[in-house]
Amino acid sequence: MKSMKTQDVYIQGGTWLFSPQGKILWNHIDESPENHAKIDDVFKKMDEVKA
């Protein structure tokens, strides 16, 4: 409840992977505060885009 009064809980985040040239390689948009990309998924995508 404290967060509801002190923060904008309607703003969601995301995780993005970019190429050195700034091209978006992958993204995960959080649909809720607990819906962050799993770190294992991020590492897997990093390995995939390296190839």
The pair of three-digit structure tokens given for residue 1, joined into one six-digit string: 């409840």
Which residue, among 7, 8, 25, has the nearest Cα to 16 in the 3D structure? 25
User: In this predicted structure, what is the pLDDT of residue 42?
Assistant: 96
Question: Model confidence at 26, in pLDDT bands (50, 70, 90)?
Answer: very high
- pTM for the full predicted model: 0.69
Strands 14-18 and 24-29: antiparallel
pLDDT at 45 over 90: yes
User: In this predicted structure, what is the pLDDT of residue 33?
Assistant: 75
On average, the pLDDT of the chain sits at: 85
pLDDT at 19 over 80: yes
The pair of three-digit structure tokens given for residue 44, joined into one six-digit string: 């897997």
If one counts every other C-beta atom within 10 angstroms of the C-beta of residue 14, the result is: 12
**15 pairs with which residues across the strands?**
28
DSSP 19: -
As a whole number, mean pLDDT of residues 15-33 equals 92
